[in-house]
Structure 1
Amino acid sequence: MTIVFKEEKHIDKNGLKALYEDVEWYAYTKDLDQLQQALLNSIYVLSAWENDQLIGLTRVVGDGLTIIYIQDILVLNSHQNQGIATDMMHHILEKYKDVRQKVLLTEEAPDVRHFYEKNGFQSSDKGTLVAFAKMN
C-alpha cells in the first residue's frame, strides 16, 4: 500500500462524501457544497490518497500564527490503525510547531483519548485547562 499525502483544498464531492460517510460524520454530508467551501476556507488541508481514492483528511482553521484549531481528522475505517492519522497529525504539528495554541474538540470514543494524548494533547478535564463549546 502506497499512501500519498497532498496539500490540496479542492477535493471532489464524491470522495468527500465517501470518506465522511464511511466514518459516519453525516452532519457534514448533508450539504456537500458547504463541506467543499469549508475546506476552501480552511488555512490548511492535508489529504491522504491510495491511488485515486481519498482515504484520509485533516483540516486546520485559525490564524496560523497564535492559534490553530484542528477541525477534522478522519481516515476510512478500512485504513485505520495503520498510522495514517498519526502521520497527518505529525505533519500538522511540525508545520505549526511555533503556534502556541493547538486546539481540537472531539467526541469521546474508544481510542480517541489515547490517540490525542500520544500526540501531545492534554484533555481539558485534566490539569488546568478548561474548554467550552456551543453546538447548534
Structure 2
Amino acid sequence: MIITYKTDKNINRDQLESLYNDVEWYAYTKEMEVLQRALEQSLDVISAWDGEKLVGLVRVVGDGLTIIYIQDILVLNAYQNQGIASRLMVQILEKYKDVRQKVLLTEEAPDVRHFYKKNGFISCDQGTLVAFAKLN
C-alpha cells in the first residue's frame, strides 16, 4: 500500500461523506453541502489517498500567519495506526512552522491524548493556558 498526499480542496462528495461517517462524525455529514463549502473555505486541506480512495484528511482554518486551528484530522478506521494521521500532522506543522499558535479542540481519550502529545501539543489542563469553547 502506497499512500499519497494531495492539497486539492475539491474532494468527491461521496468519498468525503464515507470518510466522516466511518469515524462517526455524523454532525458533519448531516449537511454535506456545508461540509464541502467548509473545506473549500479552509486555509488548508491535505488529504491522504490509497490509489483513488480517500483514506484521511487534515483541515486547517486560521490566518496562517499568527494562528492556525486544526479543525479536523481523521483517517478511515481500516487505515488507522499506520502513521497516516501522523504524516498529515507533520505536513501541516512543517508548512506552518513559523506560526506561533497552533490550536485544536478534541474529545478526551487516552489514545487521542497520546497522539497529540507525540506530535508536540500540550494539553491546556497541564500548563498555564486555559481554553474556552462555546458550542451550539
Indicate whether the TM-score tops 0.5.
yes
Q: Which residue of 2 aligns with 1:76?
A: 76
Q: Which residue of 2 aligns with 1:67?
A: 67
The alignment partner of 2:125 has SS state of coil
Q: Which residue of 1 aligns with 2:30?
A: 30
Q: Which residue of 1 aligns with 2:113?
A: 113
CA drift at 1:110: 3.5
After superposition, give the CA deviation of every residue in 1:95-127 in whole Å (9 maximum; x if it has no partner): 000000000000012400000001000001001
CA distance in 2, matches of 1:36, 1:19: 13
CA drift at 1:24: 0.2
Q: Which residue of 2 aligns with 1:3?
A: 3
TM-score, length of structure 2 as denominator length: 0.99
The alignment partner of 2:8 has SS state of coil
Question: What is the RMSD computed on CA atoms of the aligned residues?
Answer: 0.5
CA distance in 1, matches of 2:33, 2:110: 31
TM-score, length of structure 1 as denominator length: 0.99
After superposition, give the CA deviation of every residue in 1:71-97 in whole Å (9 maximum; x if it has no partner): 000000000000000000000000000
The number of residue pairs the alignment matches comes to 136
CA distance in 2, matches of 1:8, 1:106: 25
CA distance in 1, matches of 2:22, 2:121: 26
State whether structure 2 residue 87 is matched by structure 1 residue 87. Answer: yes
CA distance in 1, matches of 2:24, 2:109: 13
